[in-house]
Structure 1
Amino acid sequence: MTETLPALDLATPPAVRAAIRSGAYRGFTNLLARDYVQGNLMVVPQAQADDFAEFCARNAQALPLLGRSAPGAVGIPALAADLDLRSDVGGYMVFRDGVLCATPQDVRSEWREDLVAFVLGCSFSFERLLLQHGIRLRHLDEGNVSAMYVTTLQTRSAGPFKGPLVVSMRALRAADVERAAEVSARYPMFHGAPVHIGDPAAIGITDLSQSYGGHGLTQLQDDEVPVFWACGATAQLAALHAGLPLCITHHQAHMVVTDLQIEALASRTHAQHSQQQGKQQNGH
């Protein structure tokens, strides 16, 4: 569950990042800066960065690339001028040799000159668009987040990166399912259309109450249908399979809050965004 919001300006990305950086806010970010893009964080050594970028390209629905840092850089200017990825996320997971070692609130002490950060599209952004189309998201009404699950669907491997697809689940009223699928399909940078609708067992989920990470709305009401979207947490499992000497990701629903406006990014096609990313990376 999200924490009660403190008396802070949590509507604008710079204010949200400042509140997280100072320790004034430690809750989930899904209800903050609602008009702005949020993303998954993935930090890997430079030696594995190109393989990870290729893994994202081969699994673009789960891992749509919003930005990539220069080696050792603590920010990605194209996403926000003042972004410090070491302190502005609020919750991190640190893996060594594929083992979770720590869940700190900042990773300044872990940062190295050879680390490359990736920010990947997040479904928190398309939730705003679903709401604008009149689709009820009960987990938001209840102050919760969507649950995540590990499926039996497999990703396309690249270098050492491989593993199962992770999905996020939203409990939608049956009357809203078709519209939600149509709306989300327009936004590939926020995972696009659902990968599955209905019976969780068909994609290897045997118990909705057992979510990946142990958080999120997991109970369905009688008039609801589970709808599953590809999820950026797929990258976390791929990193575990890769057994990297060091890997840093966000923790649970503590996302990177960017200055990108959802409506502006949503208007881009995936090809247009990929072209822009290429220009940015060539400029590093």
Structure 2
Amino acid sequence: MNAGAAFALSRPLDGPAEVRHAARAGRLRGQTSGLAPGFVQANLAILPSDVAADFLRFCQRNPKPCPLIGMSEPGDPMLPDLGADLDIRTDVPRYRVWRDGELAEEVDDIRDLWRDDLTAFLIGCSFSFEEALLADDVPVRHIAEGRNVPMYRTTIPTAPAGPFHGPLVVSMRPLKAADAIRAVQITSRLPAVHGAPVHLGDPSLIGIRDITAPDYGEAVRVEPDELPVFWACGVTPQSVIAAAKPPFAITHAPGCMLVTDLKNTRLSIL
């Protein structure tokens, strides 16, 4: 666990503005799972205007991995509907910069990279449904182990839009059978944060060769009497950017989310 994450866990950050300000000040550089309970966290993709409309269509065609909860006006880094003082250039703990589909660097803020033609897309995050699982006594292993959630590229294709195409990314939580059934029931009510799982059981059936070696995040323990349960993941745009190779894009670093002022309770359809 990096120093930023250690800071966050040793000094609980209970409110969304507090989390954003810690990221803005450079005090939070780690993953945000478990921070600001009750508030929606979001995945991030920032793209130039020449491909922004195609990416919007991609999100609309792939609502499981890319449930859109907000987007900025071109060139405007503020998103007042998601947070009164929210600045997309500074308020994510860690960013990834992509050039021609390749990960070029990770940075702490993107003020020097911001351009007038950029649009930010905010996508629902599974960290929101984890709160609902924990409230119903369904255990979440990576939180218990203090790790980033394990995420995997699969052989499940996404629906293409313009240049955007590529494999679905999933996040995994190991659960006993009874807890897995309950998790399906709970997350089915939360389509704005990925909804019900896309797969339970044998990871090889969706192209995952080694569950101990995630493509993103960190591996967690899976007991012999547990099922790996897989949800569509908001890191999918990163695999799509790698496949589509746009000249420039910015995303969050996996696990390092934007914490908004939206309440998780507003996301349930029941």
Mind listing any 5+ residue stretches in structure 1 that lack a counterpart?
A: 269-284
* Equivalent in the alignment of 2:215: 212
* Equivalent in the alignment of 2:81: 78
* Equivalent in the alignment of 2:47: 44
Mind listing any 5+ residue stretches in structure 2 that lack a counterpart?
A: none
| Shift in Å, 1:218 | 3.4
Q: Is the partner of 1:94 in helix, strand or coil?
A: strand
| Match 2:98 to one of 76, 87, 95 | 95
> How many Å separate the matches in 1 of 2:240 and 2:141?
30
| Shift in Å, 1:9 | 5.7
- Structure 2 counterparts to residues 219-230 of structure 1, below 5 A: 219-230=221-232
Matched, 1:196 2:209: no
- State the one-letter code of the partner of 1:227: V
Q: Is the partner of 2:218 in helix, strand or coil?
A: coil
Q: Does structure 1 conserve the Cα–Cα contact (< 8 Å) formed by 2:145 and 2:220? A: no
Q: Is the partner of 1:118 in helix, strand or coil?
A: strand
* Equivalent in the alignment of 1:242: 244
Matched, 1:11 2:14: yes
> How many Å separate the matches in 2 of 1:22 and 1:183?
36
- State the one-letter code of the partner of 1:54: R
Matched, 1:183 2:186: yes
- State the one-letter code of the partner of 2:223: Q
> How many Å separate the matches in 2 of 1:37 and 1:216?
22
TM-score by length of 1: 0.91
RMSD: 1.4
Q: Does structure 2 conserve the Cα–Cα contact (< 8 Å) formed by 1:91 and 1:250? A: yes
| Shift in Å, 1:267 | 4.2
* Greater Cα shift, 170-179 or 158-167: 170-179
* Greater Cα shift, 138-147 or 231-240: 138-147
| Shift in Å, 1:90 | 1.2
| Match 1:156 to one of 156, 159, 176 | 159
Q: Which string of whole-angstrom CA distances, capped at 9 and with x for unpartnered residues, describes residues 54-107 of structure 1?
A: 000000011000101000011211111111111110101101111111101111
| Shift in Å, 1:8 | 4.6
| Shift in Å, 1:241 | 1.7
- State the one-letter code of the partner of 2:170: V
Q: Which string of whole-angstrom CA distances, capped at 9 and with x for unpartnered residues, describes residues 212-239 of structure 1?
A: 12x2233311221100000011111111
Matched, 1:127 2:147: no
Q: Does structure 2 conserve the Cα–Cα contact (< 8 Å) formed by 1:94 and 1:102? A: yes
> How many Å separate the matches in 1 of 2:231 and 2:12?
31
| Shift in Å, 1:34 | 1.3
Q: Which string of whole-angstrom CA distances, capped at 9 and with x for unpartnered residues, describes residues 104-155 of structure 1?
A: 1111111100000000000000000111112111221111232000000000
> How many Å separate the matches in 2 of 1:111 and 1:235?
19
* Equivalent in the alignment of 2:111: 108
Q: Which string of whole-angstrom CA distances, capped at 9 and with x for unpartnered residues, describes residues 140-197 of structure 1?
A: 1111232000000000000000000000000112220111011101110010110000
Q: Is the partner of 1:145 in helix, strand or coil?
A: coil
> How many Å separate the matches in 2 of 1:9 and 1:221?
30
Q: Is the partner of 1:109 in helix, strand or coil?
A: helix
Q: Is the partner of 2:52 in helix, strand or coil?
A: helix
- State the one-letter code of the partner of 2:69: L
